[in-house]
């Protein structure tokens, strides 16, 4: 049994902007089920959804600031959550990274530097909590300074740093280094300095005892210039301690047999009721009601990573085909605008919802026939796994976790009934279009399509296996 402090900037269902929250809300539960004493730590944002008022536990003083630690529980579990409560930083409307108007917090470096100092105080048992972890498990750049701070302590707990997305590095001008009052010995190209800038993520990459990322393929990709953003050298240098462990999914939250957010419950053996969700989706999105037309769904942050530009390039051609396209997302304003323009031009074919909507994301997973993830890169990706569980066949670009979690429908895999999705290689609109056309041919062959759906729905994406892999790594330090 290990004592684990799991540090994250978001965790579902308390606060979520993307897949990190899904992982931080479900991996700790799986580790607790394996018998570990795991506690989450995250900032006490105003936007947190809490069932009960959190309990005050203590006050810690760092950098001349008094920071409270509050305690609550991760819903549907006995995992304790410690909330870092510093009102001047976190008690504002907005999400962890941007304000309510979508503008990045100007003091984001200060916010997460303070968070990392508190993680360190808790890790060193200096926060009056009477609990010291064996392992501090940090996630993404927002927690990157913690392994660096811990490296300066005597006898610190072991640290693990998980890269969920190397594209976000927490880079700030060199002047931030002194403004944040960071220890001078960390200003070094082998520490936090990155081409004259301060890099939060390097704190994790250079100092954590173990590095992980969220799929085996991405673990390889980030050691190359194409995906490494200049950090490939450091990552290759540390490849002995770098492991790719696939994310799992929360099998209770994403279960088509019981999902409270969808009207029609179904399973691999009772697939016919999936159509109830399709009709509901068409009604809600004001698309013509038609059971037979294939619906292509997409739910994502509208950023370059997700290959939304490939989709935009294809839309004029796609509206000529017998299909409907439903998208939910938010992000890049020009992409939002272009998508909305298309939906105005082709209201019978394209429905676009801009925003963040948990319930609609479940309905799209359940009501669509095909799910689109043409990502340029994808460390793991969760929606292709949710889609398979919902019998909604994913079209993915063969990269990162997408390559690791679907079985492309090729003659061989179709014959031996292992196909669960459709993959294409090059991040080009033509390749995506061809994959879409391939899916239409398969969709028309109903007995074959049912088989692909059943194979997809039977795949085991639970956390059990991956949580054991983390456990095995914890045992090595
Ligand atoms: P990333 O973390 O890069 O955004 P993932 O596929 O790992 O990608 O996870 C994204 C998660 O966020 C999924 O659970 C997805 O359903 C959810 N999501 C993304 N955009 C929205 C949205 N606009 N509304 C609701 N859920 C969303
Ligand atoms: C990141 C990645 C995504 C991954 C998620 C959870 O946001 O973009 O691919 O699934 O983290 O690990």
Query: What pLDDT does 275 receive?
Result: 98
Buried-state track 41-74, b at ≥16 Cβ within 10 A, e below 16: bbbbbeebebeeebeeeeebebeeeebbbbebbb
Q: Which pairs with CB-CB distance under 8 Å and at least 24 residues apart come from 56-60?
A: 57/82, 57/128, 57/129, 58/127, 58/128, 58/129, 60/118, 60/121, 60/126, 60/127, 60/128
Q: Which residue has the tokens 């399509």?
A: 449
pLDDT per residue as tens digits for the range 13-36 = 999 999 999 999 999 999 999 999
**Cβ(303) – ligand 2 distance below 6 Å:** no
Return the ligand number nearest the Cα of 298.
Answer: 1
Same topology for domains 3-248+463-474 and 271-457, yes or no? Answer: yes
* pLDDT tens-digit readout, 111-129: 999 999 999 999 999 998 9
Q: How confident is the model at residue 400 (pLDDT cuts 50, 70, 90)?
A: very high
Strand pairing partners for 82? Answer: 41, 71
Q: Which of 17, 19, 161, 303 is the pocket-test mutation for ligand 2 (most atoms within 8 Å of CB)? A: 19
Report pLDDT digits (tens) over 404-440.
Answer: 999 999 999 999 999 999 999 999 999 999 999 999 9
Written as six digits, the tokens of 472 are 């095995």
Please state the domain extents for the chain: 3-248+463-474, 271-457
pLDDT of residue 230: 95
Distances in Å between the alpha carbon of 316 and those of 94, 310, 313, 349, 350? 35, 12, 7, 11, 11
25 Cβ below 6 A of ligand 2 = no
CA 13 to ligand 1 centroid distance, Å? 13
In this prediction, residues 452-474 reach a mean pLDDT of: 97
Quick one: three-class SS letters along 227-290?
HHCCCHHHHHHCHHHEEECCCCCCCCCCCCCCCCCCCCCCCCCCHHHHHHHHHHHHHHCCCCCC
Residue 132's Cβ-count burial label (10 Å; 0-12, 13-18, 19+) is middle
Fold of 3-248+463-474: Rossmann fold (3.40.50)
pLDDT of the residue at 220: 98
Supply the pLDDT for residue 322.
96
The residue assigned the tokens 């994403």 is 254
What are the pLDDT digits (tens) for 155-196? 999 999 999 999 999 999 999 999 999 999 999 999 999 999
- pLDDT tens track for 292-335: 999 999 999 999 999 999 999 999 999 999 999 999 999 999 99
* Average pLDDT of the segment spanning 58-81: 96
Atom of ligand 2 nearest to the CA of 20: 6
Ligand 2 within 6 A of 97 CB? no
Over residues 238-274, the pLDDT tens digits come to 999 999 999 999 999 999 999 999 999 999 999 999 9
Share of the chain above pLDDT 70, in %: 100
The CATH code of domain 271-457 reads: 3.40.50.2000
- pTM (2 d.p.): 0.97
Which ligand sits nearest to residue 214's alpha carbon? 2
Q: Which residues line ligand 1 (CB under 6 A)?
A: 18-20, 22, 299-301, 328-330, 356-358, 361, 380-383
| Cis ω for the linkage preceding 476 (within 30 of 0) | no
pLDDT value at position 417?
Answer: 96
**The residue to which tokens 């085991």 are assigned:** 460
Mean pLDDT of the 444-449 span: 98
Write the residue with the smallest CA distance to atom 1 of ligand 2: 164
> Which of 361, 363, 374, 385 best tests ligand 1's pocket when mutated (most atoms within 8 Å of CB)?
361
Q: Mutation test of ligand 2: which of 10, 25, 250, 382 has the most ligand atoms closer than 8 Å to its C-beta?
A: 382
């Amino acid at each position: 049994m290990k004592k684990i402090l799991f540090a994250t900037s978001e965790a579902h269902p308390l606060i979520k902007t993307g897949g990190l929250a899904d992982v931080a809300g479900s991996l700790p539960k799986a580790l607790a089920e394996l018998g570990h004493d795991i506690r989450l730590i995250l900032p006490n944002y105003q936007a947190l959804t809490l069932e009960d008022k959190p309990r005050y536990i203590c006050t810690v003083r760092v950098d001349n600031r008094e920071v409270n630690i509050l305690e609550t529980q991760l819903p549907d579990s006995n995992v304790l959550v410690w909330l870092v409560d510093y009102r001047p930083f976190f008690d504002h409307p907005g999400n962890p990274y941007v304000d309510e108007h979508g503008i990045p917090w100007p003091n984001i470096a200060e916010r997460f530097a303070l968070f990392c100092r508190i993680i360190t105080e808790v890790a060193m048992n200096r926060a009056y909590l009477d609990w010291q972890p064996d392992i501090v498990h940090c996630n993404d750049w927002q927690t990157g300074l913690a392994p660096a701070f811990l490296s300066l302590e005597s006898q610190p707990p072991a640290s693990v740093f998980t890269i969920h997305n190397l594209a976000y590095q927490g880079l700030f001008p060199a002047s931030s280094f002194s403004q944040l009052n960071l220890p001078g010995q960390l200003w070094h190209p082998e520490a936090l300095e990155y081409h004259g800038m301060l890099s939060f993520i390097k704190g994790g990459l250079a100092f954590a005892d173990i590095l992980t990322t969220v799929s085996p393929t991405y673990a390889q990709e980030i050691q190359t210039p194409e995906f490494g953003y200049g950090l490939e050298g450091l990552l290759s240098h540390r490849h002995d301690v770098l492991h790719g462990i696939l994310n799992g999914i929360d099998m209770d939250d994403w279960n088509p047999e019981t999902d409270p957010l969808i009207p029609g419950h179904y399973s691999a053996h009772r697939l016919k009721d999936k159509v109830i969700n399709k009709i509901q989706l068409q009604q809600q999105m004001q698309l013509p009601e038609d059971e037979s037309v294939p619906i292509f769904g997409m739910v994502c942050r509208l950023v370059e990573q997700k290959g939304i530009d490939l989709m935009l390039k294809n839309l004029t051609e796609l509206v000529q085909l017998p299909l409907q396209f439903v998208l939910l997302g938010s992000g890049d304003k020009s992409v939002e605008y272009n998508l909305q323009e298309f939906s105005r031009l082709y209201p019978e074919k394209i429905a676009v919802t801009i925003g963040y909507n948990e319930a609609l994301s479940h309905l799209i997973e359940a009501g669509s026939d095909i799910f689109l993830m043409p990502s340029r890169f994808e460390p793991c990706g969760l929606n292709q796994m949710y889609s398979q569980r919902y019998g909604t066949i994913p079209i993915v670009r063969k990269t990162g976790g997408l390559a690791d979690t679907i079985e492309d429908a090729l003659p061989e895999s179709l014959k031996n009934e292992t196909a669960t999705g459709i993959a294409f290689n090059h991040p080009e609109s033509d390749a995506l279009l061809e994959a879409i056309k391939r899916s239409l041919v398969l969709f028309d062959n109903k007995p074959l399509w049912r088989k692909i759906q059943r194979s997809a729905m039977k795949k085991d994406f639970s956390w059990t296996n991956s949580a054991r892999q983390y456990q095995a790594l914890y045992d090595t330090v």
